[in-house]
Homo-oligomer: A and B are copies of this chain.
Amino acid sequence: MPYISIPWDLIDSFIMDVFSGYGIPEEDARICADVLLESDRRGIESHGLNRLKPIYLDRIKENIQSPVTLFEVIKEGPATAVVDGHDGMGQVVGVKSMRMAIAKAKRHGLGMVAATNSTHYGIAGYYATMATEEGCIGITGTNARPSIAPTFGIDNMLGTNPLTFGIPTDEPFDFVLDCATSIVQRGTIEAWARNGLSTPEGTVIEEDGSPMTDSEEILTALVKGTAALAPLGGIGEELAGYKGYGYATVVEILCSALQNGLFMKGLTGVGEDGGKRKFHLGHFFIAIDVEAFIPLEVFKKTAGDILRALRNSRKAPGHDRIYTAGEKEYLAWMERKDTGVLVNEGVQRELAAIRDELGLTRYRFPFED
């Protein structure tokens, strides 16, 4: 059986111990575990437990990411700040940066923080939701290893660069649009590869212009630079791929130019000697305090009315439901909140190996019974 559920309290405790075992201070481990597992809670398998080993633990071991996060404010104004994460944990940089942005928004109406020398920060939607929970609109983006080709190009130049918005509503779930500016992003292809699934044709182009569909081959080719993701809108201009390309470029600039950080080919994670090197990622975080414009409850009702009207509009033939952003993630949580996180066989093996490596002998997983 490929997928097995692990209860939330068990996996949370385990992840806390794993992060602590890798040298992350407890307060920061709490943040990292919460960001990681929130991805699984939302059903975003691509950014959850399957990233624990390759994206966080391995990188700490390889010394390209520090388990201790020195969060330094290097420039600050009333509504703005530039912070340096000193290659610590991206989730810690993210949470502390968005907290700053929210605090500034609460005082001045708006807040924005640009972060440099960070690392992979997990799901962008986590930070957007931090804002919505405080009555703010949250906007965030991050750069990433280059993957997207510009319109009319074939080189993987831009990261999948999410441009993410969170908006408070009067519904049980807030509006959270957490998406890459490519058609699909690396994490999705990683999940497809882990599950032996192919990638839909038309979302990835090889350097000779032909489409690629083998997910494992795509991941390798993306790193080698012999393939690239298409931007949202697709290849060429016919379906307006230049728009997705444009939004990816906006995120690339906002994540580097505000703090003189690295960008595009500087973010491959591979040094001139071919060895792994620090990523030095950049992020930005914007919080807009709704109360600076209008009473929060009035805002939430309008936003909710818009979303309800969208869902209640007429369905296309063959479809019986229209979703709004954040709804599927909420439904995923409703479905799994009482049963636990679903993990595939590859992740099961990784979790057991990490447990054994750290000697966390008190943990035994359901898939071992």
A243 is an interface residue with CB less than 8 A from chain B: yes
Contact of A150 among B111, B165, B310 (CB under 8 A): B310
Expressed in whole angstroms, the minimum distance between the Cβ of A289 and any Cβ of chain B is 8
A209 / chain B contacts, CB cutoff of 8 Å = 316-317
From known contacts A152-B321, A153-B315, A325-B246, infer whether A108 and B253 are also in contact, taking CB-CB under 8 Å: no
Q: How far is the CA of A239 from the CA of B238 in the complex (A)?
A: 13
What is the 8 Å Cβ interface bit string for chain A, positions 157-169, against chain B (1 contact, 0 not)? 1100001010100
Contact status B152-A323, CB under 8 Å: yes
Q: How far is the CA of A176 from the CA of B306 in the complex (A)?
A: 29
From known contacts A249-B177, A290-B258, infer whether A322 and B152 are also in contact, taking CB-CB under 8 Å: yes
Contact status A207-B302, CB under 8 Å: no
Residue on B with the closest CB to A307? B249
Contact status A314-B152, CB under 8 Å: no
Q: How far is the CA of A10 from the CA of B323 in the complex (A)?
A: 51
A167 / chain B contacts, CB cutoff of 8 Å = 250, 253, 257
Q: Restricting to A165-191, which residues have a CB under 8 Å from any CB of B?
A: 165, 167, 175, 177, 179, 181, 183-184
Contact status A82-B316, CB under 8 Å: no
A343 is an interface residue with CB less than 8 A from chain B: no
Contact status B246-A179, CB under 8 Å: yes
Q: Restricting to A88-123, which residues have a CB under 8 Å from any CB of B?
A: 108-112, 114
Q: How far is the CA of A193 from the CA of B183 in the complex (A)?
A: 30
Q: How far is the CA of A203 from the CA of B237 in the complex (A)?
A: 12
Expressed in whole angstroms, the minimum distance between the Cβ of A127 and any Cβ of chain B is 16
Q: How far is the CA of A155 from the CA of B80 in the complex (A)?
A: 41
A208 is an interface residue with CB less than 8 A from chain B: yes
From known contacts A183-B233, A203-B239, infer whether A257 and B154 are also in contact, taking CB-CB under 8 Å: no
A202 / chain B contacts, CB cutoff of 8 Å = 239
Expressed in whole angstroms, the minimum distance between the Cβ of A245 and any Cβ of chain B is 8
What is the 8 Å Cβ interface bit string for chain A, positions 235-274, against chain B (1 contact, 0 not)? 1101110111011011011101111100111000000000
Residue on B with the closest CB to A289? B80
A112 / chain B contacts, CB cutoff of 8 Å = 109-110, 288
From known contacts A80-B109, A184-B240, A203-B239, infer whether A153 and B310 are also in contact, taking CB-CB under 8 Å: yes
Q: How far is the CA of A109 from the CA of B82 in the complex (A)?
A: 12
Q: How far is the CA of A290 from the CA of B137 in the complex (A)?
A: 21
Binds B, one of A28-36, A293-301, A334-342, A356-364: A293-301
Contact of A80 among B110, B263, B323 (CB under 8 A): B110
Contact status B179-A240, CB under 8 Å: yes
Contact status B315-A177, CB under 8 Å: no
Q: How far is the CA of A288 from the CA of B288 in the complex (A)?
A: 13
Q: Which 4 A-B pairs have the closest CB atoms?
A: A80-B109, A257-B302, A177-B246, A152-B319
Q: A78-B108, A153-B313, A177-B246 are in contact. List 8 more A-B contacts (CB 8 A).
A: A150-B313, A152-B319, A177-B250, A179-B246, A181-B243, A258-B290, A258-B293, A259-B294
What are 15 inter-chain pairs, A to B, with CB distance below 8 A? A79-B108, A80-B292, A108-B108, A109-B112, A112-B288, A149-B316, A150-B324, A151-B323, A152-B319, A152-B323, A153-B319, A175-B250, A259-B294, A260-B298, A260-B302
